């Protein structure tokens, strides 16, 4: 009998998420499938603009709102009509395929506790977002209120979701101190009464992590937790994430374009380009023996010493990624890496590869995986 350990806490299935823009639909997420098991940390790793944050926004149920914003503020009629069509289709339970036109917003499934979050109404979502599924957003500057002490800001997540009045003030105050202690903020009992500007950037980031853990979530999403900080500060932020993992045993989705961050914090990795997962698997396998040409090239853009040694030993020739990522409003008909891949053949330019499991737990999106030299 299953002990529930292998059950996914979240399963993203055939997810699509499109923005509207002046140049047409921005195909930010294209047919993405992966799952996060209980207590597991999955990393989303990839080029800038490959759709990592968009996946987070879709899981949090705020992608459509962000995406609709442009259409409603720009006065762009065509896009407003597309949104009207999307609303109509959603009400009738119809998809882009049923309507025979590509529609903006999220489509597909995000399974969580037996419910499909894509179909959930906003009232139900509010019980989950910021409570069971929490988010440490990309960039701390916009996330903390500069005029308020940090203690009430951290406590707010509990009060917002405490509709039944279960919590006592004293209990919440204790939880605030406990969470600040887990993320190793020095002198939390005194410094909880300071405002965000009185902390360093790395400390602010750890305060956001404390904020995201105080509700004892099922899943925490951390988007680029270490951008724009020096190596020492990065170390402390990653330590804080690992301490939260150890203490709460919650599942994590960690977004980063730094393979070191993923290697240090995650069990699994999804390598993304042009809104697709190119390779998914165990972190060590994918980073040390990447199977996909895109993963190999991305790793070679900033290789670890171990990888350099391995390449020399095997006499392989792999270069970093040449050229630019494809235009997300006008993706090529086949593999999105075909314009930049050293192994591309006609089929790559014409047909979308199948995303398939090449060995247990290891998924690849490539026509030619079996023929490629092994890494
Ligand atoms: N509000 C928006 N309206 C239109 N297009 C958007 C919007 N937000 C993002 N995009 C586009 O969607 C695509 C995916 O963006 P996303 O932010 O998900 O990428 P990312 O992988 O998180 O990148 P980064 O590493 O730079 O944070 C990009 O082409 C981006 O320019
Ligand atoms: S499908 Fe073709 S173009 Fe795409 S990564 Fe594989 S070999 Fe390269
Ligand atoms: Mg991002």
| Mean pLDDT along residues 246-264 | 92
Ligand 1 pocket member 53 (CB < 6 A): yes
Closest CA to 264 of 16, 4, 41: 41
Q: Is the pLDDT of residue 203 over 80?
A: yes
Residue with CA at minimum distance from ligand 1 atom 27: 48
3-class secondary structure, 259: helix
What's residue 1's pLDDT? 38
Under the banding of pLDDT at 50, 70 and 90, the label for residue 214 is very high
| Mean pLDDT along residues 309-324 | 78
What's residue 164's pLDDT? 79
Q: Which domains are delineated in the chain? A: 1-129 (3.40.50.300), 137-252 (3.40.50.300), 294-371 (no CATH)
Q: How far is CA 63 from CA 28, 29, 52, 54, 66, in A?
A: 11, 11, 12, 7, 5
What's residue 3's pLDDT? 47
Under the banding of pLDDT at 50, 70 and 90, the label for residue 216 is very high
What's the rounded Cα separation, in Å, for the pair 181 and 311? 43
Q: Do residues 116 and 110 touch, judged by C-beta distance below 8 A?
A: yes
Nearest-atom number in ligand 1 for the CA of 66 is 1
What's residue 138's pLDDT? 81
Under the banding of pLDDT at 50, 70 and 90, the label for residue 111 is very high
Q: Is the pLDDT of residue 34 over 80?
A: yes
79-83, 253-257, 283-287 — which is least confidently predicted?
79-83
Q: How far is CA 175 from CA 55, 94, 179, 188, in A?
A: 30, 44, 6, 12
DSSP tag of 314: H
Which one of 21, 29, 50, 73 would you pick to mutate in the ligand 1 pocket, going by the greatest count of ligand atoms within 8 A of its CB? 50
What's residue 2's pLDDT? 41
Please list the alpha-helical segments (H only) found in the chain.
52-59, 63-74, 77-91, 96-99, 122-128, 150-161, 169-182, 188-191, 201-213, 231-248, 259-265, 283-288, 293-300, 305-314, 346-350
148-162, 221-235, 305-319, 334-348 — which is least confidently predicted?
305-319
Backbone dihedral angles phi then psi of residue 41, each to the nearest 5 degrees? -115, 125
Give tens-digit pLDDT for 138-153: 876 678 899 999 999 9
Which one of 273, 366, 371, 372 would you pick to mutate in the ligand 2 pocket, going by the greatest count of ligand atoms within 8 A of its CB? 366
Residues with CB under 6 Å of ligand 2 are 293-294, 335, 337-338, 341, 343-344, 348, 353, 366-368
Task: Tell me, in angstroms, the distance from the centre of ligand 2 to residue 366's CA.
Answer: 5
What's the rounded Cα separation, in Å, for the pair 285 and 171? 44
Task: Tell me, in angstroms, the distance from the centre of ligand 1 to residue 322's CA.
Answer: 21
What's residue 104's pLDDT? 96
Ligand 1 pocket member 54 (CB < 6 A): yes
pTM reported for the whole predicted model? 0.94
Comparing 179 with 142, the larger pLDDT belongs to 179
What's residue 140's pLDDT? 64
Q: Do residues 269 and 45 touch, judged by C-beta distance below 8 A?
A: yes
Residue 184 Cα to chain centre, angstroms: 25
Q: Is the pLDDT of residue 7 over 80?
A: no
What's residue 141's pLDDT? 65
What is the average pLDDT value for the chain, to the nearest integer?
91
Comparing 138 with 110, the larger pLDDT belongs to 110
């Amino acid at each position: 009998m299953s002990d529930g350990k292998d059950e996914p806490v979240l399963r993203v299935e055939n997810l699509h998420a499109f923005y509207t823009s002046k140049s047409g639909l921005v195909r930010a997420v294209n047919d993405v499938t992966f799952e996060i098991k209980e207590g597991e940390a999955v990393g989303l790793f990839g080029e800038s603009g490959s759709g990592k944050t968009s996946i987070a926004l879709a899981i949090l149920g705020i992608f459509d709102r962000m995406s609709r914003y442009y259409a409603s503020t720009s006065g762009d009629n065509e896009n407003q009509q597309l949104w009207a069509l999307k609303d109509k289709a959603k009400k009738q339970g119809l998809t882009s395929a049923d309507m025979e036109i590509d529609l903006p917003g999220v489509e597909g499934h995000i399974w969580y506790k037996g419910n499909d979050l894509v179909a959930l109404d906003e009232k139900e979502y509010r019980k989950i977002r910021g409570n069971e599924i929490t988010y440490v957003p990309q960039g701390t500057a916009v996330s903390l209120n500069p005029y308020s002490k940090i203690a009430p800001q951290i406590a707010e997540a509990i009060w917002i979701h405490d509709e039944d009045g279960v919590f006592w003030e004293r209990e919440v105050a204790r939880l605030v101190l406990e969470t600040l202690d887990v993320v190793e903020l020095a002198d939390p009992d005194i410094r909880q009464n300071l405002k965000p500007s009185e902390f360093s950037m790395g400390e602010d980031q750890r305060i956001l992590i404390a904020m995201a853990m105080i509700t004892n979530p099922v899943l925490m999403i951390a988007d680029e937790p270490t951008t724009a900080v020096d190596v020492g500060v990065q170390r402390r932020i990653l330590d804080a994430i690992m301490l939260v993992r150890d203490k709460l045993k919650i599942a994590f989705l960690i977004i980063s374009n730094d393979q070191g961050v993923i290697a240090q914090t995650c069990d699994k990795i999804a390598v993304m380009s042009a809104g697709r997962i190119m390779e998914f698997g165990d972190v060590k396998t994918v980073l040390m023996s990447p199977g996909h040409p895109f993963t190999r090239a991305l790793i070679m853009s900033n290789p670890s010493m171990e990888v350099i040694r391995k390449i020399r030993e095997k006499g392989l020739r792999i270069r970093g990624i040449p050229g630019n990522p494809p235009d997300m409003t006008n993706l090529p008909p086949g593999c999105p890496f075909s314009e930049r891949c050293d192994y591309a053949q006609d089929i790559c330019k014409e047909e979308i590869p199948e995303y398939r499991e090449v060995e247990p737990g290891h998924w690849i999106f490539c026509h030619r995986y079996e023929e490629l030299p092994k890494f």
